[in-house]
Amino acid sequence: MSPRARVTVRDVYRALDDHYPFAHRADWDNVGILAGDPAAPVRSVLVALDATPAALALCGRMRPGLLLTHHPVVFTPLKSVRPDVPDSSAAYSLLRMGTAVISAHTNADVAPRGVSWAVARRLGLSGIRPLIPGEPSDACKVAVFVPPDRADAVMTAVSEAGGGRIGEYARCSFRVSGIGTFLPSNAARPFAGRAGREEKVEEIRLETVVARSRLPQALAAVRRAHPYEEPAIDVYPLVGGALGGGVGAVGDLRAPAPLDAALGEVFRRIRPSWIKVSGPRRRTVRRIAVVAGSGAEFAKAAREAGADLYVTGDVKYHQALEAAAGTMAVADVGHGSAERWILPEFRRVLSERFGKGLAVRVFMEKEPLRMFRPERMQRRSNIGGTMKRSTKGGTRR
């Protein structure tokens, strides 16, 4: 893109959507343009994991046109937007600054080169693949019957509404020719044929996939692009349907390593605030599975994938007990320490699309929780009688 080209919030959204389709979010999530004018110009972007006080303070100094976060800045429905209400205080501050917000959360988690893939890549794993192929989405198949010369236009409309995406592929469809029949009433205004006469016309059955979260928009787009007054549209829920990508990542070390050495590499490459480990104390690690963020529930999938070490966050007590009784080591690196490595990937996507036309800065924060250890007791203390008297009247330790 030319350095002088005008970049808008919507342009940034579309660049991210090409790599992390927003339609593939979890149904409980809130992603996309969450605040600001989609048509507003953007010269600079701050990329952060969350809209923390530190990130907001940096926005205050930078005055970026856009804040791009992984975790949603607005998650639950807001009844008010005020600085003294915790759920809305960040949105209030950003709106006052004139800074728009885009959040890419679960759609980035399940993308083919998403959050866990970024961690697996930093760990230098080979043969990286999804831990659970195909994200657990509520995909639907949409079939529409359309004149042959209008099939491409309808497919374009569906695609622009967020449909037709499977993994790294866009505009995915299947088409088969057939004969459609219909009898328009005298009040109808048919695109083909005449009112009051039964017609037989050549049509294309156009099939594609759409995430349920984008289904209303996709169906509306089909109707706008379709030439018929009453287009025939079928929608089929896909049980266990997936639209590409998957949960987590798994790959192999280039050479087997003792557990402590493997954990040392995890610490060096991910730089977490801590690593809490459960499971065997001695283990040769050949295969590592990763679910960045909160992923303890996927430990079984990691074992079934043959992982010797599972790297994730938010491991609870009973999950740690289960790991302690097993043969696979589980490393809790915290929720944000692994997830934050998607932020440089966001920057890469935007820099490749917009070049010098957009300044992008990444803000990396540490875990909000920190480890506390009491300072070592002084060797000399008057508390508890730690000083002992010698028989010669002096002191000895």
Give the tens place of pLDDT for each residue, 67-122. Answer: 999 999 999 888 899 999 989 999 999 999 999 999 999 999 999 899 999 999 99
pLDDT score of 137: 58
Q: Which two tokens stand for residue 395?
A: 């002191």
pLDDT score of 387: 43
Average of per-residue pLDDT across 147-156: 96
User: Residues with Cβ < 8 Å from 58, sequence gap 6 or more?
Assistant: 46, 48, 363
pLDDT score of 146: 95
pLDDT score of 207: 96
- Assess contact for 162 and 107: CB atoms under 8 A: no
Question: The tokens 């009112």 sit on which residue?
Answer: 195
pLDDT tens for 26-73 read 888 999 999 999 999 999 999 999 999 999 999 999 999 999 999 999
Percent of the chain with pLDDT over 90: 73
C-alpha 330/C-alpha 320 separation (Å) is 8
pLDDT exceeds cutoff 60 at 382: no
Q: How confident is the model at residue 241 (pLDDT cuts 50, 70, 90)?
A: low
pLDDT tens for 269-326 read 999 999 999 999 999 999 999 999 999 999 999 999 999 999 999 999 999 999 999 9
- Amino acid present at 377: M
Provide the mean pLDDT of the chain.
Answer: 90
Average of per-residue pLDDT across 15-31: 89
Please, what are the domains in the chain?
Answer: 9-105+342-363 (3.40.1390.30), 115-133+246-333 (3.40.1390.30), 139-237 (3.30.70.120)
pLDDT score of 391: 45
User: Residues with Cβ < 8 Å from 61, sequence gap 6 or more?
Assistant: none
Would you give the distance in Å from CA 247 to the centre of its chain? 10
- Assess contact for 152 and 204: CB atoms under 8 A: no
Residue 153: Cβ-neighbour burial (10 angstroms; 0-12, 13-18, 19+): middle
Residues β-bridged to residue 190: none
CA distances from 117 to 134, 248, 290, 336 (A): 14, 7, 8, 15
Long-range pairs of 92-96 with CB within 8 A, sequence gap ≥ 24: 93/56, 93/59, 93/60, 94/35, 94/36, 94/51, 94/56, 94/59, 94/67, 95/35, 95/36
C-alpha closest to that of 286 among 310, 305, 307, 302:
307
C-alpha 40/C-alpha 98 separation (Å) is 10
Q: How confident is the model at residue 23 (pLDDT cuts 50, 70, 90)?
A: confident
Average of per-residue pLDDT across 173-191: 91
Radius of gyration of the chain (CA): 28
Residue 152: Cβ-neighbour burial (10 angstroms; 0-12, 13-18, 19+): middle
Average of per-residue pLDDT across 171-195: 90
pLDDT score of 389: 46
Percent of the chain with pLDDT over 70: 91
pLDDT score of 5: 65
| Helices assigned H by DSSP within the chain | 9-19, 53-62, 86-97, 106-109, 115-122, 151-160, 215-225, 259-270, 299-304, 317-324, 335-339, 342-354
Strands 359-363 and 284-294 turn out to be unpaired
Average of per-residue pLDDT across 344-364: 96
What pTM value is reported for the model? 0.79
pLDDT exceeds cutoff 50 at 386: no
pLDDT score of 172: 93
Q: How confident is the model at residue 136 (pLDDT cuts 50, 70, 90)?
A: low
pLDDT score of 397: 41
pLDDT tens for 217-236 read 999 999 999 999 999 999 99
CA angle 8, 12, 17 (to 5 degrees): 140
